[in-house]
Amino acid sequence: MQSDHSNKMDGMVAIVTGASRGLGRAIAKEFAAEGAKVVVSARRDSPTGLPGTAVETATQIRDQGGEAMALTCDVSNEEQVVSMVNQTIDRYGQIDVLVNNAGVMVLGDTILDIDPEKWDRSVAANLRGPYLCCRSVLPWMIERGRGSIIHIGSRMGSDHDQGGGVLYSSTKAAVHMFSYCLADEVREHNIAVNILSPGGLKTEGSAAIPWTQRDWDQRVEPEAVGPSAVYLALQDASTFTGQYVLRAEFGETWGV
């Protein structure tokens, strides 16, 4: 692998959901560059028609000398989540890290624009998904006596002025609280649960949202989130858990 990596994640197995593009792909590639075996998970097709597949991400990782397995999984579907976890165990025998990155972003819609189906789809992807993935992965982490779960948070989940709207902001606020409570619940098993807020990113998804153009210059490439995600992946309940952290403050207020 590239010389600028120190194989901090040698011997570790990580699942990254929503890893077909953008932030998920960047985290998966960073984990692999640090020596982890990475399970790259994504839905078969983007509902929004964006480019990228899990297979492409896994191929890029292998082309760079890493180890990856691509799996199709809709995180809101319990059967598919259980299958993803079982296939991971069958292939690698353990799960050390879970990054719940999969989600959908609905912005700019008022409550009257949001029909019940759209509401349910977002809640299913953004909240039911992390719940199902945690519930399926945790028995394996508990058996090992350690693990790290990373949820992708958002300023929109804690600040109503950020423009997230009633749907997206509500799901992110729920994920934050889910993470805090889960961290308390699994602390006795030495499993870390943390929330990483990446800040504004230059991704295919955000490029499709008109208002992101106004602060495009301040946004960072998703690769910038890699090192902070690696740091969180290496934690357990004895070192760092139950925290909401900003990627922009990595190396300053946390991860020092």
Please enumerate in sequence order all residues whose Cβ is within 8 A of that of 91, keeping only pairs 6 or more positions apart, or say none.
Answer: 69
Cα 162 to Cα 189: distance, rounded to the nearest angstrom: 36
Amino acid (one-letter) located at 152? I
Catalytic residue among 92, 168, 231, 244: 168
Pairing label, strands 147-152, 97-100: parallel
User: What dihedral angle (degrees, nearest 10) is formed by the CA atoms of 78, 83, 86, 91?
Assistant: -150
**Cβ–Cβ < 8 Å for 76, 130:** no
Amino acid (one-letter) located at 89? I
**Cβ–Cβ < 8 Å for 17, 102:** yes
Residue whose token pair is 């985290």: 27
Beta bridge partners of 208: none
The neighbour count for residue 49, using CB atoms within 10 Å, is 7
User: What dihedral angle (degrees, nearest 10) is formed by the CA atoms of 42, 46, 54, 203?
Assistant: -100
**Cβ–Cβ < 8 Å for 73, 17:** yes
Residue whose token pair is 């934690």: 235
DSSP string, 51-79: S--HHHHHHHHHHTT-EEEEEE--TT-HH
244 is catalytic: no
The catalytic residues are 168
